[in-house]
Structure 1
Amino acid sequence: MTLIINGETVTVPDEVKTVSELLSHFRLDNKLAIVEVNVRIIQKHEYAKTALADGDRVEIVHFVGGG
């Protein structure tokens, strides 16, 4: 499946079907992240049931510590 993630076209495996699986694919599932799909902010409790489709526009913001 091809998604537009943070403005870049990215191909993800066909097994990635939900927001939760997408975050897991990018190893962000244990991090604090805000996800928007097609201009709609997805609540964390909706990640597992929010399906992704080819061509969806996804924005992922996650926080990185450091100094």
Structure 2
Amino acid sequence: MSYHGRLNIAQLDRLSEIIGNLGLLFLATLVLPIFVKGSIVDPITILVGVIVSIVCVIVSMFLLRKNT
């Protein structure tokens, strides 16, 4: 069985969902506790959490768009 490196629509949907959930995970674990706790934290941590979340959501949306 040869594999050409292409994903079918169901696999792309699943991959998009996983990447979107990963972005939410980063947001929930890095960014939100900082604001709830109210402690002083390195701004780089907040920035990294937000950037990773945004990138994951953009990649997820790109994968969904590629399906159509």
TM-score past 0.5 threshold:
no
Larger C-alpha radius of gyration, 1 or 2?
A: 2
Give the TM-score of the pair, scaled to structure 1: 0.23
Greater strand fraction, Structure 1 or Structure 2: 1
The structure whose RCO (Cα within 8 Å, separation 6+) is larger is 2
Higher helix share goes to which structure? 2
